[in-house]
Amino acid sequence: MVAIPIAYDQPGISARIAHHGVGEFVNLDNLSVANLLGLIRKVLTNRSYAERANYFKEVISETRGLDVAADVIEQVTKKALSAALSKSA
Contact 20, 55 (CB under 8 A): no
Proportion of the chain above pLDDT 90, given as a percent: 79
Give residue 10's domain range: 2-63
Overall average pLDDT of the 12-33 stretch:
97
Smallest CA-to-CA distance from 17 within 5, 29, 35, 6 is with 5
**Measured distance CA(39)–CA(50) in Å, rounded:** 14
Q: What total of structural domains would you count in the chain? A: 1
Residue 27 has pLDDT above 90, yes or no: yes
Q: Does pTM surpass 0.85? A: no
**Residue-wise pLDDT tens digits, 29-60:** 999 999 999 999 999 999 999 999 999 999 98
- Does the residue 71 lie in any domain? no
CATH number at residue 18: 3.40.50.2000
Q: Are the C-beta atoms of residues 20 and 52 closer than 8 Å to each other?
A: yes
Give the SS3 label for residue 2: strand
Give the C-alpha separation, 22 to 55, whole Å.
10
pLDDT > 90? residue 84: no
